[in-house]
Amino acid sequence: MSDIQIVNAPAGVEGTGFFATSLDKAVGLARANSLWPLPFATSCCGIEFMATMASHYDLARFGAERLSFSPRQADLLMVMGTIAKKMGPVLRQVYLQMAEPRWVLAMGACASSGGIFDSYSVLQGIDEIIPVDVYIPGCPPRPEAVIDGFMRIQDLVKTESTRRRNTPEYQKLLASYGIQ
Ligand code: SF4
């Protein structure tokens, strides 16, 4: 028996010799299982991410082994670590350089809320400067939690309409961050 499993087909109509689904679902399935993460790691949570990428947890099982260090070739921004206010504009610039569709994962207490660093120099959550799709709690989150957060992103990607990025709601969200 083979240990290899393939992802489930999206919801559709099937019968002998045929399968039909909507374009949105087919695109979502492909995108969700071929995400290219950009790891924006500034401190200890980055170490936990390294464990998530290594052989024991192996994020490659989710189709995400191809890390991108160029924002233009990435569609998932993974922010892990303390983000100093001075670093904020750099993070925002990275986000702006990513093409749509793009998703953002805030890993750990620091990226999500500033964590224990309630100080004058630390950004109290990256959602002060860019929109965030999924937050992973913990200090640091274990690799299992990182994988769970990644799977929540996959859920979003699978179900997102290919037209969502053109909707007034999405434009309004970006506008609230001063992004066109
Ligand atoms: S959440 Fe905890 S482990 Fe992660 S970067 Fe902050 S202090 Fe480090």
Domain-wise residue ranges, the chain? 36-176
Residues with pLDDT less than 50, the chain = none
Ligand 1 pocket, residue 79 CB under 6 Å: no
Confidence (pTM)? 0.92
Ligand 1 pocket, residue 113 CB under 6 Å: no
pLDDT at res. 149: 97
Question: Which tens digits make up the pLDDT trace of 94-106?
Answer: 999 999 999 999 9
Q: What is the overall mean pLDDT for the chain?
A: 94
User: How many Å lie between the centroid of ligand 1 and the Cα of residue 28?
Assistant: 32
Please check whether residue 49 is in contact with residue 74, taking contact to mean a CB–CB distance below 8 angstroms.
no
Tell whether the torsion through CA atoms of 39, 42, 46 and 47 is positive or negative. positive
User: How many Å lie between the centroid of ligand 1 and the Cα of residue 114?
Assistant: 9
Domain 36-176: give its CATH code. Answer: 3.40.50.12280
Ligand 1 pocket, residue 110 CB under 6 Å: yes
Please check whether residue 126 is in contact with residue 169, taking contact to mean a CB–CB distance below 8 angstroms.
no
| Ligand 1 atom 3, closest CA | 140
User: How many Å lie between the centroid of ligand 1 and the Cα of residue 113?
Assistant: 11
